C-alpha cells in the first residue's frame, strides 16, 4: 500500500516492526496506511523503552504516562491479542488523543484511564510490567524544540525531579514481586536520569538489570559510573536524546490476587454475529454496552477493582434494545458482505471514498466491509444503493 503511494523504507534490526522512512512523496501521516492505523510515526529513540521492557506475550502492562500512545501501541503489539496494556494519562485532552490513536490502530487489547500517575488507585503488587516515561525537561528534543534548554534550565527542573520520584515510588508499589519496570526520559539531564535510577536502587530497593548494547545506536557513556543503561545524545537527522533503564522488584512478599468482575452489559452472541464481528474475538473478551457507547472489555480487564475507572477500546454507539451503530474503523471482520478494492486503482477509489465520493452498489445491507488486496480496512455505509465512508 505504501509502495504504491510512492513511499520507500528500510527495516531496522533493533525492533522487528521498526522501519526507517527513506522516500516520502507527501506526509506519511496522510497516507492511506496512516489513516487506517496500520503504521505509527515515531522517533527512532522513543521506540527503545518498550524494547528494553520487552514484556512476555500475554502479559499485563501498565503504561503510567501514556499519551499520545506510541509506546502503548508498541507494547500492545509485543504482548499480542491475548496480552493487555493499560495506558494512563492525567490530562483529559491528551487522554482523548490516546484513546483516538488506540482506536485508530484497532488495539482492542488496550484500555485507558485518567489518574495522576503517582496516585493510580490499583492495589499493590498488581502489575507484571510497568513502562514509566514521566514528564521531563526534554533536553533530548533540542532539534525539534531549539529553546527547550533555555525554558528548562537546571534550577527549573526540580519540580520534575520530585514528580519523577513520586511516580517511581508508586511504580514500585504497583509491581508484583519479580516484576519489571522500565524508566525512560527524553532528556540528557543527570538528575532526571542516572540520579533517579540510583534513587530507585537505594531508596526503593529495585535492582538495575543491564541492558545489552545496541549496535544500531550510538550510545554515550552513562554518568555516575552506572553500567547497563542506554544514554543517547541528540543527533541531527538520526535520533533525539534518550535515557532508558530497566529495573526489577525483588522476589518475596505477596502479589495481589484480583477477583474477576463483570463490566458493562455484554452483547449477546447473536448481536455480535449480526454486526459482522467474528466470534473468535470473543476469546479475548466481551463487547459490552456502557450507557450509550460500546467498548471492548478484554478478559484481563475483568480483574480491575470495583471502584477503578477505566475505558476499553471504543467500538461504537449503543441505543435501546441493543441497537448498535459500530464505528467504521472496527475491522473485526465476520459474516458481512465485503467490497474488494485491488491494486493502485483500488487505492484511488479508497482515496475518493475518504474525500466524500460515493460508488453505486447492489448491497441490501446497511453496512459492508471494505478490503484492499484482502486486507480489511473498515466498514462502509450503504445509502440509496451507494457506498459511502462516514465517521458519524
CA gap 164, 193 in Å, rounded: 10
Place of cell 465520493: 357
Q: Is residue 345 marked as binding?
A: no
Q: Is residue 13 marked as binding?
A: no
Place of cell 492495589: 123
Q: Are strands 127-132 and 175-185 parallel, antiparallel or unpaired?
A: parallel
Phi-psi region for residue 264, left (φ > 0), alpha (ψ -120 to 50) or beta? left
**From the centroid of its chain, how far is CA 371?**
24
186 labelled catalytic: yes
Catalytic residue among 113, 114, 186, 361: 186
Return the C-alpha cell found at 310. 477505566
What is the Rg, in whole angstroms, of the alpha carbon atoms belonging to the chain? 22
Please state the residue numbers annotated as binding site for S-adenosyl-L-methionine: 89, 133
Please state the residue numbers annotated as binding site: 89, 133
Instruction: Please give the positions annotated as active site.
Output: 186
Amino acid at each position: 500500500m505504501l509502495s504504491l503511494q510512492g513511499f520507500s523504507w528500510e527495516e531496522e534490526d533493533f525492533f522487528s516492526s521498526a522501519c526507517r522512512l527513506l522516500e516520502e512523496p507527501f506526509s506519511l501521516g496522510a497516507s492511506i496506511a496512516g489513516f487506517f492505523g496500520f503504521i505509527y510515526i515515531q522517533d527512532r529513540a522513543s521506540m527503545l523503552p518498550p524494547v528494553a521492557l520487552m514484556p512476555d506475550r500475554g502479559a499485563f502492562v501498565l503504561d503510567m504516562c501514556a499519551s499520545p500512545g506510541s509506546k502503548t501501541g508498541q507494547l500492545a503489539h509485543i504482548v499480542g491479542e491475548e496480552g493487555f496494556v493499560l495506558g494512563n494519562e492525567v490530562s483529559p485532552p491528551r487522554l482523548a488523543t490516546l484513546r483516538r490513536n488506540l482506536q485508530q490502530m484497532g488495539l482492542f487489547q488496550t484500555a485507558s484511564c485518567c489518574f495522576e500517575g503517582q496516585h493510580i488507585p490499583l492495589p499493590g503488587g498488581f502489575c507484571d510490567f510497568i513502562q514509566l516515561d514521566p514528564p521531563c525537561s526534554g533536553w533530548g528534543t533540542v532539534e525539534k524544540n531549539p529553546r527547550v534548554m533555555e525554558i528548562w534550565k537546571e534550577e527549573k527542573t526540580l519540580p520534575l525531579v520530585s514528580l519523577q520520584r513520586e511516580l517511581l515510588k508508586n511504580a514500585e508499589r504497583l509491581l508484583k514481586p519479580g516484576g519489571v519496570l522500565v524508566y525512560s526520559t527524553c532528556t540528557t539531564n543527570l538528575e532526571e536520569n542516572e540520579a533517579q535510577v540510583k534513587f530507585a536502587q537505594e531508596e526503593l530497593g529495585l535492582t538495575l538489570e543491564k541492558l545489552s548494547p545496541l549496535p544500531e545506536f550510538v550510545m554515550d557513556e552513562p554518568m555516575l559510573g552506572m553500567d547497563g543503561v542506554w544514554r543517547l545524545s541528540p543527533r541531527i537527522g538520526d535520533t533525539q536524546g534518550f535515557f532508558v533503564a530497566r529495573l526489577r522488584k525483588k522476589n518475596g512478599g505477596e502479589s495481589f490476587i484480583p477477583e474477576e468482575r463483570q463490566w458493562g452489559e455484554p452483547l449477546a452472541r447473536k448481536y455480535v454475529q449480526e454486526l459482522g464481528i467474528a466470534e473468535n474475538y470473543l476469546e479475548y473478551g466481551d463487547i459490552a454496552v456502557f450507557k450509550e457507547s460500546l467498548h471492548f472489555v478484554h478478559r484481563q480487564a475483568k480483574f480491575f477493582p470495583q471502584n477503578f475507572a477505566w475505558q476499553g477500546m471504543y467500538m461504537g454507539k449503543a441505543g435501546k434494545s441493543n441497537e448498535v451503530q459500530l464505528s467504521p474503523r472496527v475491522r473485526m471482520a465476520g459474516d458481512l458482505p465485503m467490497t474488494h478494492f485491488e491494486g493502485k486503482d483500488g487505492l484511488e477509489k479508497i482515496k475518493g471514498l475518504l474525500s466524500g465520493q460515493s460508488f453505486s452498489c447492489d448491497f441490501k445491507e446497511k453496512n459492508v466491509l471494505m478490503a484492499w488486496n484482502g486486507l480489511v480496512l473498515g466498514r462502509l455505509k450503504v445509502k440509496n444503493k451507494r457506498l459511502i465512508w462516514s465517521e458519524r
